């Protein structure tokens, strides 16, 4: 998974650190982080080359769903894989994320194996 660039948006610095460490462990060397959805959108708009986004469902300023909506409405970023991460495991919440175009939904707490599986399924679908 060399040359893959990921963006992780979460208002928890601990979660940013955990996800960044997991992504590095599975071979994604470049991981940008944002403390909220607004900062994540600014990074995308700044022209950063991003291949995959992990966004917390509930963040200040712009939520994960609002960020997802902006990405899906964008001509440049519309097809960008966006994984919503949340401690909310209710079926209705997961289905709502799907309606907004989430590529995947991961419930916290998650394992290294879960994140690895999601990333491989997204970035190497024919190998999954």
Query: Per-residue pLDDT for 127 more than 70?
Result: no
- Asked if pLDDT for residue 111 goes beyond 60, the answer is yes
The torsion region of residue 66 among left (phi > 0), alpha (psi -120 to 50) and beta comes to alpha
Q: Could you read off the pLDDT of 17-66 as tens digits, one per residue?
A: 999 999 999 999 899 999 999 999 999 999 889 999 999 999 999 999 99
How far, in Å, are 19, 28, 32, 98, 111 from residue 14 at the CA level? 9, 19, 15, 26, 15
Q: Where are the domains of the chain?
A: 5-123
% of the chain surpassing 90 pLDDT: 90
Question: Does the N-terminal peptide bond of residue 52 adopt cis geometry, omega within 30 degrees of 0?
Answer: no
Average confidence score pLDDT of the chain: 94
The CATH class given to the 5-123 domain equals alpha beta
Phi/psi for 30 (5° steps) reads -105, 115
> What pTM value is reported for the model?
0.94
Eight-class DSSP state of 33: E
């Amino acid at each position: 998974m060399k040359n893959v660039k990921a963006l992780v948006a979460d208002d928890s610095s601990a979660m940013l650190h955990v996800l960044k460490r997991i992504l590095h462990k599975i071979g994604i060397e470049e991981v940008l982080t944002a403390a909220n959805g607004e900062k994540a959108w600014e990074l995308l708009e700044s022209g950063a080359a991003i291949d995959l986004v992990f966004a917390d469902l509930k963040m200040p300023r712009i939520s994960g769903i609002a960020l997802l909506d902006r990405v899906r409405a964008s001509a440049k970023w519309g097809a960008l894989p966006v994984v919503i991460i949340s401690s909310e495991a209710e079926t209705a919440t997961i289905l709502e994320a799907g309606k907004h175009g989430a590529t995947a939904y991961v419930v916290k707490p998650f394992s290294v194996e879960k994140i690895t599986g999601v990333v491989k399924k997204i970035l190497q679908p024919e190998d999954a």
